[in-house]
Amino acid sequence: MLLFVFVVFANLAVINFAGSQFFVYPRILNERTTASNLVLQLNQDITLNLKRSSVLADELLVATSTLEGNQLELVNTSDIQASLYHDLHHQSSVIVRARDGEAEVEGIINHNLRIKPVSASKRSHRGEIPHRIYEVEEPKNIPITMSNGNNWRKITKRALDFDRFAVEVHVVSDSVHQQNFAKTQELIAYFAVLLNGVNLRYLDMREPRIKFMLVGITRSLNDAYAKHLKPGILDMDKSLDGLYDYYVKGNIPGKPDVVHLVTGQDMARIENGALDKDYTGLAFGGPPCTKRAVSLSEDIASSYKGVFIMAHELGHVMGSPHDETEQCPWSEGYLMSYVDGGVKKYRLSRCSERRIRDNLKFMPRRCVGIVSQSTYMYHYKKFPGQKVSKKHYCKKLLRKYTTSNDIFYEKLEDNSRRCKMKCCFLTSPTMKRCLNATVLDGMKCDGGMTCRRGVCGQHEWP
């Protein structure tokens, strides 16, 4: 049988997380808030209806990896779990904390918008904490290649006898990525929000229902698994093999179902004698609960940009190849394609669901039970699209093309209903250039409605 290695290509015009921004003062609408739900108003255009999320183990196993070995720490995540929320309509995943009686918010507002608090010295006259909303662009990728292997289907195939599967994930944050988080709790919170966003892509999966749960984190200081083509550029193939060997040798604590590496570096390979950096992810084909359940993806720390790539790579580990069949063509644009299929991009195709079900039949039976005592995502309920304004979003997207501050957006009637917009800048007093952009989850689209999973409508948010 075949062992597939899946590769994700990067967008050829990636826009980095840096640059222009706009500010909001979030506030909780207490009259519409309950014990498990809260309504968060970011500004007059963005209001999130948030529900409490559950993606974290109660106690998270954290390893700090150095040349001398791993230092292990068991972290209680109750504080984080209490503050994690999501908004299904906007596809938001955010952490909401109270600081001096005011809301402090961080995470994913929707597909493109993110939010972070800024210095408390800039509070409003009512004491509200200022937040920066910024835009990121999820990669639009091109087709991939696959390589072959041969050993995981020695496990006996069996019938699926469970209707829910909590996939326990251990995330490795490499030396470049993890250095952006001074405190372990900050790193846990970040990955809880990121994995919360991943779960939104799997909501429609049935028989079984799939939910990813964060059970462990490695803060890697020495990257013993990594191989480089040059400084700052990972050899993606050798690094994935290195991660596999690292796992096999017992360097990942606990008993996770899946191990996923998040890197703050570029990944690349040599093709036709040239360095090709147009990649963002790579994975073996699983199944979960085997040592072949490993994958890696790029992310810009604190941007939450890597949510799509992580969701896509975990799809490969769960057993889904790309959508390249007559029944589920690449052009349809579901999660396991790189074509922008609108709302389809936020869900699996029927072919992907079928392949995942088939792959899970090869898992060891012990895999179905939850091994970890803790799940780090319970308190993080926020989603990506609850964090940034349209103008800030456009400034992020257009950073590659202009340094001008004269950036604006246009909301056409037709585009608005399709959760699309145009980000524009002036090239002269009478000329403009525009870039088509996807409206983020949780962002207003038309007539007071919001976008969620690519649909403009009346959505409820946690």
Buried b (16+ CB within 10 A) or exposed e, 115-145: bbbeeeeeeeeeeebbbbbbbbbbbbbeebe
CA distances from 456 to 136, 304, 346, 417 (A): 20, 22, 14, 6
CA 309 to chain CA centroid, nearest Å = 7
| Alpha carbon distance 335, 453 (integer Å) | 12
Spatial neighbors of 298 by CB under 8 A, at least 6 apart, are 10, 262, 263, 264, 265, 266, 267, 280, 281, 306, 309
Annotation says 332 is catalytic:
no
Which of 135, 298, 313, 353 is catalytic? The answer is 313
Question: Which has the closest alpha carbon to 305: 323, 283, 322, 281?
Answer: 281
| Alpha carbon distance 333, 348 (integer Å) | 10
111 marked as binding residue: no
- CB 66, CB 53: distance < 8 Å: no
Identity of residue 458: Q
Question: Which has the closest alpha carbon to 126: 150, 151, 102?
Answer: 102
- Supply the DSSP symbol for 128: P
Positions of E strands within 236-273: 258-263, 266-271
Question: Which has the closest alpha carbon to 379: 41, 60, 32?
Answer: 60
- CB 106, CB 96: distance < 8 Å: no
- The torsion of the CA quartet 22, 454, 456, 53, rounded to 10 degrees, works out to -70
- CB 256, CB 169: distance < 8 Å: yes
312 marked as binding residue: yes
CA distances from 355 to 255, 290, 347, 349 (A): 24, 17, 14, 10
125 marked as binding residue: no
Q: For residue 8, list its beta bridge partners.
A: 281
| Alpha carbon distance 238, 147 (integer Å) | 13
Q: Residue ranges for the binding site for Zn(2+)?
A: 312, 316, 322
Residues annotated as catalytic are 313
